[in-house]
């Protein structure tokens, strides 16, 4: 059955990608609305060969909408989501505004699609760094129950929006020319540098980005006993987040078993031929929807522990693709 769709934040980087994916994946769209701030009024966006004007995001805009996909800052989500729900829409919210509310399912379809059934008008999509990690964790958790995760992320500048990409490109040019660049998205130069801070520091010494990985992972797996020790780092890469992940399981899993589990899992592609230089990298995972896993090996420091490397496009699976997949499950009723 066709669904009437609204994309909120339609002119942003992720909103633009949501539009592209709905069309490419042949989502059963009846009517589509592109909603944004007054700044974008007058623009037209193409969808299925039609030029559709951008409309102002307000309560009236959600009348007749079945599913609203929001790609907005937290404060905007807190404003529009109640409007959409009151109008009868189900909101797939990509912001952090509703993720940890007890009554809001936090969903990665490959991991916990059954949680969709419990929605009360809002379904949250997780943080990009959490999303790729839990997809990779899922087959191991199902097989042997993960007890502990130690993860270090290497996060691309696109995760900080357009300003992050500008800082990387223009900051790199300036550095090569021995000139100054006034950074907008980052508090330290990102060109030829790594910054071990994403988000604000909390009282426990972890950043807000790191605590998202802890809390969201536990909620997605419905298991408060999973220990997560994250370190989130910004690196001078334009797109695709990389993660070094170590998992400790309740029962042993061999490297061969882990590889077979990854290969059989939905949404995962294994690139693991280290002798031939084959492993996931941002350069070979960009603009793709899968979570890529490689460098699978035994953790030689601990029993029942495996280490692996994981890369995924943070704008696609980490944001737009995950939201569209949730919307597809809503439209089909296949939870």
Catalytic residues: 128, 241
Of all helices (H) and strands (E), which one includes residue 311? strand 305-312
Region label for 12, one of left (φ > 0), alpha (ψ between -120 and 50) or beta (otherwise): beta
CA dist., res. 321 & res. 213, Å (int): 19
CA dist., res. 63 & res. 66, Å (int): 9
Angle formed at CA 88 by CA 59 and CA 14, multiple of 5 degrees: 65
Distances (CA, A) of 327 to 30, 68, 71, 176, 245: 14, 9, 13, 44, 29
- Closest to 11 (Cα-Cα) out of 224, 161, 189: 161
Where do runs of H (alpha helix) occur along the chain?
13-24, 74-86, 109-112, 128-144, 162-176, 208-221, 255-264, 282-285, 321-332
- Closest to 297 (Cα-Cα) out of 264, 231, 253, 249: 253
CA dist., res. 90 & res. 122, Å (int): 6
CA dist., res. 331 & res. 48, Å (int): 19
How many other C-beta atoms are found inside a 10 Å radius of the C-beta of residue 136?
28
């Amino acid at each position: 059955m066709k669904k009437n769709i609204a994309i909120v934040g339609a002119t942003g980087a992720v909103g633009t990608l949501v539009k592209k994916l709905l069309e490419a994946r042949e989502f059963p769209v009846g009517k589509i609305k592109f909603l944004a701030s007054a700044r974008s009024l007058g623009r037209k966006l193409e969808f299925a060969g039609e030029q559709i004007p951008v409309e102002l995001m307000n309560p009236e805009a959600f009348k007749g909408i079945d599913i609203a996909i929001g790609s907005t800052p937290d404060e905007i989500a807190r404003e529009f989501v109640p409007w959409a729900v009151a109008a009868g829409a189900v909101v797939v919210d990509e912001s952090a505004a509703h993720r940890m509310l007890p009554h809001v399912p936090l969903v990665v379809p490959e991991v916990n699609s059954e949680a969709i059934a419990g929605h009360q008008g809002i379904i949250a999509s997780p943080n990009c760094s959490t999303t790729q990690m839990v997809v990779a964790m899922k087959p191991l958790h199902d097989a042997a129950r993960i007890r502990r995760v130690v993860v270090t992320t290497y996060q691309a500048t696109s995760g900080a929006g357009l300003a992050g990409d500008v800082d990387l490109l223009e900051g790199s040019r300036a550095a090569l020319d021995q000139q100054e660049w006034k950074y907008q998205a980052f508090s330290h130069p990102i060109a030829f540098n790594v910054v071990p801070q994403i988000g604000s520091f909390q009282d426990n010494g972890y950043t807000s980005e790191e605590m998202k990985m802890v809390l969201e992972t536990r909620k997605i797996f419905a298991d408060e006993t999973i220990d997560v020790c994250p370190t989130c780092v910004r690196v001078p890469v334009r797109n695709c987040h990389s993660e070094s992940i170590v998992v400790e399981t309740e029962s042993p899993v061999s490297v061969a078993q882990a590889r077979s589990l990854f290969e059989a899992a939905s949404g995962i592609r294994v690139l693991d031929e280290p002798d031939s230089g084959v492993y996931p990298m941002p350069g070979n995972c960009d603009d793709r929807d899968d979570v890529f896993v490689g460098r699978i090996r035994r953790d030689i420091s601990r029993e029942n522990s495996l280490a692996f490397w994981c890369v995924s496009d943070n704008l696609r699976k980490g944001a737009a693709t995950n939201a569209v997949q949730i919307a597809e499950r809503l439209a089909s009723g296949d939870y």
